[in-house]
Structure 1
Amino acid sequence: MTTRETLKLSVGELVAFSCRRGDLMADAPAGPTAQEGIRAHQRLQKKRPAGSEAEYRLQVACPLDGQTVQLSGRVDILHPQQDLHRPAQLDEIKTTYCTPDKLPEAVRDLHWAQLKIYGFCYLLQRQEETGKRPAPQDRLLLQMLWYNLKQKKSHPERREFNWPELEDFAHNAMRTYLNWHHAWQQHRLAVRTSARALEFPFPDYRPGQRELAIAAYRCLRDGGELVVEAPTGIGKTVSTLFPAVKALGEDHLDQLVYLTAKNSGRQVVRETTARLQALGLALSLLEIQAKDKTCACRQGLCSPDADGICPRTVGFFDRLPQARQRLLGVSRLTPDTLAKVADEFQLCPFELSLQMLPWVDLVVCDFNYVFDPLVRLNSLQTGDRRRALLVDEAHNLSERARGMYTAELTRKESRQAARDCTGLPTLRRSIQALVRALDQWVGERTDAERFAAGADRDNTEVWVSPLTNPPTQNADAKHVQRPESVMMAAHKVMATVSQMWEQSQPPPEEIREWLHNLYRFLTIIGLPALQHRCLTRRAHPDTPWQKQALKLFCLNAAEYLQQCYQHFQGVILFSATLRPAGYILPQLGVAADAPYFALPSPFVPEQMGTFLCPFVDTRYRARDSAADALVDLIARVYQSRPGNYLVFFPSYRFLQQVAERFSAQHPQVDIIQQTAAAGELERAAFLERFSENRRSLGFAIMGGIFGEGIDYVGEQLVGCILAGVGLPQISEEQELLRHAMASTGGNGFDIAYRYPGLTRVLQAAGRVIRTETDRGVVILADTRFAEPFYQPLLPAHWRLQTCATGEALSNALGNFWASAKGIDLAPTLRAEVE
């Protein structure tokens, strides 16, 4: 057999793929942290005897079945052979919260598999150093050191192996991996060949589309970051995905990762990929769906046993290889496809999707799988694979990322978690200690520290402090700014929980979400504190129902985003609304010299009528009169050309106020309202009303699900009305942002309020014109749109007409619709709302 190119493989990769057997261990919210593990390793390594070596490097080349495999790794401690009577010894250190006899057998076997591969590498490396091949009688001592962090005690286990035993074990593991690797390489060859031959899937490029595709290809080929504001209709998905596929074909990339914030975005990626695959592309797509929507237990498709163990996790890794083989090279691994194969092999569908993640060409998932410190998938950020990161709807990224790096603990939820731990006294006591620490922290705050923007609002006290302590070691407790006692109590809770997980005793399902929040709290408080503030709230302080909350609030996640970008060869962030550049770029965490493209709209200006109505004032103090003015305005817009319209509001309260008055004055018009607690069925029912040949008037929230990421094509939407400039609601968090941005020399009000509001407005307006044949209207109903701040930021292709009165608006709308061919302005339609 012809020798192939050397395959470089770490011992960890080999063991994880080839040696894992038995049950899938449920993911604990926390185990020993990396810092705890490092400290334990260093402590034990310092105690090693003279002559031994720590972090001993191993790297060997092993020819096997016509393929050379280069294995590499570091063993924790090497004890060289001292005499002929005692062989050399390798030690591997593993940190736990329990004694090794409490660990599941599958975990222990995996640890020993890693150490045996290390032993094979050591003896082979000695051959390369001495020129003497290992003999069958050559022996090696292997010692597993399980270090119990709770007991602060080592539990050693030593075994002796000869060379044939280690060689046979390592060769079997490598053959398992090589068989898979060769099949994977055949698939990769087919992908590259078909990608090189792929043509653009449309007859022509839209205006700006070719420029975007070229810039995207260069970014992914050469590396770096690219930010693109690409207006609605330009075809952002195909304009970024097609050049990414071409870079894959030219061997500049190994894998594509496409992030989108909404389900509708994933649907567009599926459709675009299917179009490319229909032209011959052999690429495989994996769509990762949230665990709550995928897990068979949470979907009611299987039932955990009395100990809370899902039957699909028992023997998971014994059945995985067959399922993995079945899915290799499948063109579209959607949740439905994965569910069918998972059912066939009785595997957890969500975990199956994660196991397939390294073995597909295109991964489509939500932002959190790359950026969230708790959820992100390490397999997307490890190894030496060259990956491209394509971030759609990037206007949502900065706010979403701030949420990912924000954590909150509440007294009410913590007390409930303790009550849910009946029958688990150790865990219950640790949670109760956390509640007491939270009480102590809140009780130590002083009136002088109160945050003025939140004081006395709804009988709530608010304190804000940086996550740092004053320089003096003997500072008064009331002036300590970092909640150390809360953090220590939280660590004790997680240590108890981790010990339970290691012993296959999951904590109660009722506290799953609370534990997730607690782990986020510990993760965030362990980060550099520069971009965080500690926000303490106490509501109804003099009552038995007093509420307390401790929030670690992230002011700007740009630094954390930049750290994530470093794992990708090329990063492209794009959206229809990324303006102005001076505001967007610092929020997204891209390099200061990253290219920024603002592409023109592909549609002709005559397709959309844009009308400014400064006679409406939607500011809070004018809401009552604004409601009457809006009712008249909405009626005039609908009367000008009845069809499907959306009216967007800054709040549910204002929405309901206007909806009630409109229904009272125009009962013959059927309206539908977005509700705050709408589920998926209600959302689907709302969207179903906006079909062709309907006349639906929808009232929705700016920045909500109906104002972003949905294509209302043709007659599905003929106009939208923006009731206000979309400013976020005033809150302690927004005020903190405003103050923080102002302290760094920026305009805090613009950054915290006006720019995010503008993004909501432009996103909602972008729902109206989606194709070359659409025609529609956008109404800007607020006097503030006429201010100098907003005028330069509105899209260049908008032909804004100012209407000083309602009558002027009716005339302008009549002229616009009359200019559209085939539009019937019969009196019967115009009279519909009269």
Structure 2
Amino acid sequence: MDKNVSLKVSVRKLVEFVEMGGSIDSRFVGTNIMQEGTKTHQRLQDSRGEDYEKEVHLSIDYKYQSLLLQIEGRCDGIYRNEKETIIEEIKTTSRELSNLTEEDFPTYWAQVKMYAYIYGKQQELENISVHLLFAKRDSQEERLFKKTYSLDELEDYVEGIVLEYMNFMGTIFDSEQQRNESLKQLSFPFPSYRVGQKDLAKAVFKTIKEKKRLFAQAATGIGKTISTIYPTLLAIGEKECEKMIYLTAKTVTRQVAEGAFQLLIENGLHLKVVTITAKEKICFQEEVRCQKEFCPFADGYYDRLKDGLKDILANELIMNRQVIEAYAHKHKLCPFEFSLDIAMYADAVICDYNYFFDPKVRMQRWSEFHRDTIVLIDEAHNLADRAREMYSASISKSMFLQTGRIMKNIDKELYRSLKAVNEGLLEWKKELLDKDLFVLSEKPHHIVELVAALVEECERWLKTHPSGAGFEEVLTCFYDGQAFIRVAKEYNVNFKTIVTIHKSEVHVKLACLDPSTVIRSLTKKVFATVFFSATMQPLGYYQTVLGGEKEDYHISIESPFKREQLEVYGHAVSTKYRDRDKSIEPIVRSIISTFHSKEGNFLVFFPSYEYLMQVYDAYMKNDLPDHVRTIIQQPAMTETDREVFLTNFHSRTDTLLGFAVLGGIFAEGIDLVGDRLNGVAIIGVGLPKITLERNVMKEHFQEHGYDGFDFAYVYPGMNKVQQAGGRLIRTEKDSGFILLIDDRYYTSKYRSLLPPEWQNFKDLRV
């Protein structure tokens, strides 16, 4: 461990780590606990006399070997009089106070004893008293526990606490020292940079040094993953910051990031990297129920966590899903919660966008890292649509009607609130007369008020009914209603209220049409942010929808590959919806004439699954030669199904045609290098299906001075096209061809949105 190293730690974090114990319990506890606890604290503090000082900041520098531990915190209150000094901590609870004992809540005792030690040491007191006061959140009930300690007793206690904490933190410090030494020696893990790769790495490094945000479009084949991770590590090595979070949209891109870190580690880097896998995927149980009664991995989780953390952090650098599962089984820990706890001590975290952006699942425990964290956002072209859903919320009348029927004879108050929301939506439906949908620029205040009242009633009932009839239905009403209220509070000019009516159903969505403000706010809280993708064209569009500002940096890097590696052809067929039926036969002829004479693996992408099946059915009616095989992307494929699909793409002497969907799981993020993919056909220009919400988005951007149709349809569609074509040339040794089937590619507008190396395509006559 380095000499003269200092470490800051809060009293709460210190004692919670040392005294941790108990089980994971995801049972409903309500959302107002913090507010209720604060109100109770304030009420009790305000009732104290003149000798009482509330919210007292305390700190001390504690010498441990060669390290200075800076311990600080804020105790609830201190009594001072001639007879004694008392340190008070107030804790709120919903438990019956008569059932509490002094042995309960060792963490609370540790906290108040730590405050007593700090204050007693600074004031040179021989003895000091502590009060641990428990107060009911929903009443005026209180229960007080009192103890008096000598300063020597407290000194011995604190010494034990610090010793156990530093036994663990010593591992972390040693790892950081190894990390810092390895970063001094870190070199680029390839003999040379690809064309454009060094430009991207320099731009990332400059962005971090200047605490900025960067929007980077770098063509497929640049090596974006290593070109963003490597300069970020150099910045960490220069102590610009401490941590990086690598955000991805898909499992396959997470695996690419893991591969980049693994390569750097094989080249001498010492770095702790953890991957967060969704709870539903990594859970060991058949049903996700995070309660000790149902899950042995939740039962006693915190009793075993320290040993698990010490073990994995002492022995592993790359902590991916497989590694986490192995250690979680070994120590009988919930693998999902274990990964989140590991992330607190890791140097790099790889995870989905949700864990940083989504208010429902965002990792609040990471907030302390923001000022020292670099965020790398891979495949950033996906973020705008993902964010729109994160910041939107909806409710349906049927949900409240069904739950009301269940609750009618169970809880009258809750039933009345459910009925009020149901009737409010029904009344609104009548006011609309014959309309089946409409769009508002204002949030529906009357519905929001009814839902807010219902959420309070749901919370009241759920606190006292942890299971039984109606529990799941009420819980759904609570969470959907809570999300609806949360979005209503954020509602501004970037939102619209979309109401759709079908028979007796009324569906209300508070739709976020432009998430740029929220994305900007969150990314500006961190040290630096890099948005990067192979397909951020036009760059100005993505800067707009992702919250870009004038002072942000941007860079665009063209393909590093030689033009002769890729041939591009065009076939002028109208694939517009009104021409779909007429387009099927020309497309089939184009597929047959283009692919049947070639051996290898080919992918044919369609704008929708319905269109794919129309063409596929017509194609299969032909007398196909024996050397041609076909496979089709199916809806809702599992990860195993996807892997099986991709295993078909290997070196071959016959012809394999894979039929897939633009914007789907095989249209981006996969690497089929060399002979695994020899050609790609793209049917249409990828425009999203025309929907009410897309049209509302179009009008929104039109009102704000942009080309609404381009923002809502053209740019997202052409992004899918670029992503699908980008599957083909992945390395300097790859070659192949792309066939673009749509007459719109022949217009200047759509041609200009293609990558430069595609724009001079040859016309294919069939």
Aligned to 2:131, the other structure's residue is in SS state: strand
State the Cα distance separating 1:623 from its structure 2 match.
0.8
Aligned to 1:153, the other structure's residue is in SS state: coil
Partner amino acid for 1:487? A
2:684 is the counterpart of 1:724: yes
Determine the structure 2 residue equivalent to 1:832. Answer: none
Determine the structure 1 residue equivalent to 2:142. Answer: 155
Determine the structure 2 residue equivalent to 1:538. Answer: 501
2:8 is the counterpart of 1:8: yes
Deviation digits for residues 728-771 of structure 1 (CA, Å, limit 9, x no counterpart): 11222212211211121111111111111111111111111111
Query: Partners of 1:617 and 1:98 in 2: how far apart?
Result: 69
Determine the structure 2 residue equivalent to 1:342. Answer: 328
Aligned to 1:483, the other structure's residue is in SS state: helix
2:577 is the counterpart of 1:605: no
State the Cα distance separating 1:152 from its structure 2 match.
4.6
Query: Partners of 2:357 and 2:29 in 1: how far apart?
Result: 17
Contact 2:247 2:377 in 1 (8 A): yes
**Counterpart among 124, 132, 139 of residue 128 in structure 2:** 139
2:484 is the counterpart of 1:527: no
User: Once structures 1 and 2 are overlaid, which stretch shifts more, 568-577 or 157-166?
Assistant: 157-166
Aligned to 1:328, the other structure's residue is in SS state: helix
Contact 1:120 1:163 in 2 (8 A): no
Deviation digits for residues 695-727 of structure 1 (CA, Å, limit 9, x no counterpart): 221221111111010112122222222211111
Query: Partners of 1:166 and 1:384 in 2: how far apart?
Result: 35
Determine the structure 2 residue equivalent to 1:688. Answer: 647
2:277 is the counterpart of 1:319: no
2:568 is the counterpart of 1:583: no
Partner amino acid for 1:177? Y
Determine the structure 2 residue equivalent to 1:117. Answer: 114
Matches within 5 A, 1:187-336: 187-298=175-286, 308-329=293-314, 330-336=316-322
Determine the structure 2 residue equivalent to 1:489. Answer: 454
User: Once structures 1 and 2 are overlaid, which stretch shifts more, 231-240 or 102-111?
Assistant: 102-111
**Counterpart among 657, 664, 686 of residue 697 in structure 1:** 657
Contact 2:375 2:530 in 1 (8 A): yes
Partner amino acid for 1:707? A
Partner amino acid for 1:535? I
TM-score when normalising by structure 2: 0.91
State the Cα distance separating 1:328 from its structure 2 match.
1.1
Change (3 A) 1:181 1:79: closer
Query: Partners of 1:185 and 1:495 in 2: how far apart?
Result: 46
Aligned to 1:644, the other structure's residue is in SS state: strand
Partner amino acid for 2:81? Q
Partner amino acid for 2:254? R
2:582 is the counterpart of 1:625: yes
Query: Partners of 2:474 and 2:328 in 1: how far apart?
Result: 27
Aligned to 2:645, the other structure's residue is in SS state: helix
Determine the structure 1 residue equivalent to 2:18. Answer: 18
Query: Partners of 1:103 and 1:524 in 2: how far apart?
Result: 39
Contact 2:196 2:222 in 1 (8 A): yes
Matches within 5 A, 1:774-813: 774-803=734-763, 806-807=765-766
CA RMSD of aligned residues (A): 3.2
Contact 1:497 1:507 in 2 (8 A): no
User: Once structures 1 and 2 are overlaid, which stretch shifts more, 280-289 or 583-592?
Assistant: 583-592
Partner amino acid for 2:637? A
Determine the structure 2 residue equivalent to 1:387. Answer: 373
State the Cα distance separating 1:202 from its structure 2 match.
0.7
**Counterpart among 625, 647, 670 of residue 604 in structure 2:** 647
2:442 is the counterpart of 1:466: yes
What is the percentage of aligned positions where both structures have the same residue?
A: 31
**Counterpart among 337, 351, 360 of residue 365 in structure 1:** 351
Partner amino acid for 1:674? Q
Contact 2:217 2:539 in 1 (8 A): no
Partner amino acid for 1:579? Q
Deviation digits for residues 623-659 of structure 1 (CA, Å, limit 9, x no counterpart): 1101122111221221352432222222222111111
Query: Partners of 1:146 and 1:533 in 2: how far apart?
Result: 43
Matches within 5 A, 1:438-457: 438-445=421-428
Contact 2:378 2:531 in 1 (8 A): yes
Deviation digits for residues 385-431 of structure 1 (CA, Å, limit 9, x no counterpart): 62111111111011111111122233445566678999x945xx677
What is the total number of aligned residue pairs between the two structures?
761
Partner amino acid for 1:684? E
Aligned to 2:362, the other structure's residue is in SS state: coil
Query: Partners of 1:530 and 1:351 in 2: how far apart?
Result: 38
Partner amino acid for 1:573? F
State the Cα distance separating 1:168 from its structure 2 match.
3.8
Partner amino acid for 2:16? A
Aligned to 2:205, the other structure's residue is in SS state: helix
Partner amino acid for 1:13? K
Determine the structure 1 residue equivalent to 2:419. Answer: 436
Query: Partners of 1:610 and 1:412 in 2: how far apart?
Result: 52
Determine the structure 1 residue equivalent to 2:57. Answer: 57
State the Cα distance separating 1:499 from its structure 2 match.
5.5
State the Cα distance separating 1:619 from its structure 2 match.
0.9
Partner amino acid for 2:277? Q
User: Once structures 1 and 2 are overlaid, which stretch shifts more, 114-123 or 358-367?
Assistant: 114-123
State the Cα distance separating 1:169 from its structure 2 match.
3.6
Query: Partners of 1:642 and 1:792 in 2: how far apart?
Result: 32
Determine the structure 2 residue equivalent to 1:563. Answer: 521
2:160 is the counterpart of 1:172: yes
Aligned to 1:670, the other structure's residue is in SS state: strand
Query: Partners of 2:80 and 2:711 in 1: how far apart?
Result: 65
Determine the structure 1 residue equivalent to 2:554. Answer: 596
Change (3 A) 1:505 1:197: farther
Aligned to 2:655, the other structure's residue is in SS state: coil
Change (3 A) 1:393 1:436: same
**Counterpart among 362, 366, 371 of residue 376 in structure 1:** 362
Contact 2:60 2:118 in 1 (8 A): yes
State the Cα distance separating 1:208 from its structure 2 match.
0.5
Determine the structure 2 residue equivalent to 1:552. Answer: 510
State the Cα distance separating 1:351 from its structure 2 match.
1.3
Change (3 A) 1:781 1:2: closer
Q: Can you give the 5+ residue segments of structure 1 that lack an aligned partner in the other structure?
A: 128-132, 470-479, 541-545, 808-834
Change (3 A) 1:781 1:33: farther
Aligned to 1:641, the other structure's residue is in SS state: coil
Deviation digits for residues 320-348 of structure 1 (CA, Å, limit 9, x no counterpart): 11111111141211111111111122111
Contact 1:703 1:760 in 2 (8 A): yes
Deviation digits for residues 175-222 of structure 1 (CA, Å, limit 9, x no counterpart): 222222222111111111112112211111000001111111222233
State the Cα distance separating 1:525 from its structure 2 match.
3.3
Aligned to 2:532, the other structure's residue is in SS state: strand
Deviation digits for residues 350-400 of structure 1 (CA, Å, limit 9, x no counterpart): 111111111111111111111111212223321576211111111101111
Change (3 A) 1:124 1:563: farther
Contact 1:609 1:799 in 2 (8 A): no
Query: Partners of 2:671 and 2:101 in 1: how far apart?
Result: 50
State the Cα distance separating 1:14 from its structure 2 match.
1.1
**Counterpart among 85, 88, 100 of residue 86 in structure 2:** 88
Change (3 A) 1:169 1:27: farther
2:389 is the counterpart of 1:409: no
Aligned to 1:14, the other structure's residue is in SS state: helix
